[in-house]
Chains A and B, each alone.
Chain A
C-alpha cells in the first residue's frame, strides 16, 4: 500500500510539471471560452449548442489525456530506465502499476471537474444572449461529465494494460485509440447486426460481432450528453449498471495489466 501512494504522488508531481499537459489544458480552456461565441451560430438553441460544444471540448481533452498519460506514463519509465531505480525499491510491481493508474485517474477526474465548472460558466454566458425556454439541468450536466470521465478512466486502463505488454509506444497509443473507436461503435453495430434488417449477414459474422461486443468496452453506456443537452430524465438503474460495469471492467483490465507487468523483465 505504501508503494502505491509513493508512486501515485511521484507520478502526479510529474503530470503537474508536464508542459505538454499545460498546453493541452490551455487549449481546452480556450475552446470553452469560445463556446458562447460558437453557439451564436444557432438561433434556436443557443444553450443546447453551447452545452454540446462544452461537452465535446471536455470529451476531446479527456481523450487526449487518457491516451497520452495512460499510454506514456509506464512506457516512458521503461524506455528511460526509470524502472531500474524505482522497481529496485521495495515496491511491488502491482502497487507501481496501480499507483500510475490512480495518478492518471486523479488527473482525468480533476480535469473534468475543473473544465466542468468552466463550461457551466460558459453555458450560462451563452444562455444569457438568448434566454432558453428551459434552463440547464444541472444534475444531468454533471452526470454527463462524470460518466465521460469514467469512460476515459476505463480507456486509460486499456492504455496501461497495453504499455505493460509492449516495449514500443505504438501499442499503448494506437491500441487504446482503436479501443476508443471500436468501443464507441459496438452498441450500434450489434443492434444493427442482430436486427431484422441484417438477415442477409452470415452467422459467423454475427457471432464475431457479438463476441467483440462482449469483449470490447461499451462506451455507449457512458454517453449521457443527450440527457444533459435536453434535460431528459436519467434512469437510475442505467446509471447504477453503468457504474458497476465501469468498476468491474476497469478492475479486470488492471488485474490483467498487473499480471503482465509482473512477468515483464527489465534488462
Chain B
C-alpha cells in the first residue's frame, strides 16, 4: 500500500508520462517492443492529439494510462495519481478503441451503470443521461438493447458514457473510427466544446485532419517512439516561407500567385498600383499531413 499518490501536490500536468516502455511477450515468446521510453506532459485545458500510424503504440500507451496493462518500465500518472490505482480514474472519461459494452443492456441502463460506478445519484444520472444522449444524437435508441446497435451508434454511446459524469480529463482511443462524416463532425464539435469548458482531452488518431482542426498540440509516435511534439499552430503557420496572394483585377478575374517572403512587399505594392483588389494573403506552410509524412518517412529510411 503506497499512499504517496496523495502527496503528489502541484503536479505539473494532468497526464504525466515519464520513461514509459512496454514490451509484449507474444504467444511464441517473441518480444515486441511496443513502446520505448515515452515522455509526455499534458496540461490542464489542453487538447492533445496523439498521432501515429497503425501499430505505433498509441493504444498501448492508452491502455497503460487506464490500467488495463502494466508498463515494463517508467511511470504514468493521472491527476497526480499513479495509474495502477483505480482511484486515478475517478475524474476520467475513457473511450476504448473499438469499444464493446454489455450488449444485453439498453443505452440508458448502460449509462446508469457507468454513472453509478462514478458514485452519481440516480436522479442526477437520469437527467445527465438524457443530456448526453441528446448531445450524441442517440435519444431514439435510449431504450433499445445495445445488441442491435450499429458500429457508429456503439461509438457514439461510448462517447456518451465518457461524458455522463462530467469529468475533467478525457482519454479517447480513435474516437472517430467507425463514424460517418456526420458523426465525425459531431465528435469534432464535441471536443471543441470540451475545450471551451476547460477540459483536458487526450486522444489518439491516425488521421491528420482530425488533429489539425481541434488540437492545441500534437505528438507524433512511430514504431513505439515519440518523434515530435509541437503546437499545431506552429506547424501550420510557423514554418511559413511562402504566401499565396489572391488579387482581383478590374475585369473581375481573380489571380492567385505564390510569392516568397522577400518578394511579398513588392507584390503587394504592385497589386495596389494595378488598381486590383488584394483579396487574401494566405501564409503557406507545410500542412500537418506533410509534416506527419515527413516524420514517418524519416523513420522508415
> Are chains A and B touching in the complex at the 8 Å CB cutoff?
yes
A interface with B by C-beta (< 8 Å): 2-3, 5-6, 9-10, 13-14, 17-18, 80-93, 265-267
Are B63 and A5 touching (Cβ within 8 A)? no
Are A85 and B104 touching (Cβ within 8 A)? no
Are A265 and B68 touching (Cβ within 8 A)? yes
Q: Are A17 and B68 CB-contacts (below 8 A) given A2-B116, A88-B89?
A: no
Residues of B within 8 A of A266 (CB): 63, 68-69
Q: Give CA–CA (A14, B88) in the complex, Å.
A: 28
Contacts beyond the supplied A85-B100, A85-B161: 16 A-B pairs with Cβ under 8 Å: A2-B117, A6-B116, A9-B113, A14-B102, A14-B104, A17-B104, A88-B66, A88-B92, A88-B94, A88-B96, A90-B88, A90-B90, A90-B92, A265-B70, A266-B68, A267-B63
Q: Give CA–CA (A5, B101) in the complex, Å.
A: 18
Interface centre among A2, A5, A90, by most chain B C-beta atoms within 10 angstroms, is A90
- Min C-beta distance of A35 to chain B, whole Å: 33
Determine the interface band of chain B, counting residues with CB < 8 A from chain A: 20 to 34
Are A13 and B104 touching (Cβ within 8 A)? yes
B67 within 8 A of A: yes
Are B99 and A85 touching (Cβ within 8 A)? yes
- Please provide the chain B residues from 112 to 145 with a CB less than 8 Å away from any CB of chain A in the complex: 113-114, 116-119
Q: Are A82 and B101 CB-contacts (below 8 A) given A88-B68, A88-B94, A266-B69?
A: yes
Are A87 and B67 touching (Cβ within 8 A)? yes
Residue of B nearest to A96 (CB): B86
B210 within 8 A of A: no
Are B114 and A89 touching (Cβ within 8 A)? yes
Q: Give CA–CA (A87, B86) in the complex, Å.
A: 9
Are B101 and A85 touching (Cβ within 8 A)? yes
Residues of B within 8 A of A84 (CB): 63, 68, 96-97, 99-100
Are B102 and A82 touching (Cβ within 8 A)? yes
Residues of A within 8 A of B94 (CB): 88-89
Are B68 and A87 touching (Cβ within 8 A)? yes
Residues of A within 8 A of B90 (CB): 90
Residues of B within 8 A of A82 (CB): 100-102
Across the A-B interface, give the 6 residue pairs with the lowest CB-CB distance, nearest first: A84-B96, A88-B94, A90-B89, A89-B117, A265-B69, A266-B68
Q: Give CA–CA (A184, B94) in the complex, Å.
A: 46
Q: Give CA–CA (A82, B68) in the complex, Å.
A: 12
Q: Give CA–CA (A155, B203) in the complex, Å.
A: 43
Q: Give CA–CA (A18, B102) in the complex, Å.
A: 12
Are A10 and B102 touching (Cβ within 8 A)? yes
Residues of B within 8 A of A10 (CB): 102, 105, 113
From B86, B89, B100, contact of A80 by CB (8 A): B100
Q: Give CA–CA (A267, B63) in the complex, Å.
A: 7
Residues of B within 8 A of A3 (CB): 86, 117
Are A90 and B68 touching (Cβ within 8 A)? no
Residues of B within 8 A of A92 (CB): 86
- Please provide the chain B residues from 129 to 187 with a CB less than 8 Å away from any CB of chain A in the complex: 158, 161
- Min C-beta distance of B77 to chain A, whole Å: 15
Q: Give CA–CA (A91, B96) in the complex, Å.
A: 16
Residue of A nearest to B60 (CB): A267
From A5, A6, A83, contact of B68 by CB (8 A): A83
B261 within 8 A of A: no
Q: Give CA–CA (A160, B66) in the complex, Å.
A: 24
- Min C-beta distance of B120 to chain A, whole Å: 10
Residues of A within 8 A of B69 (CB): 265-267
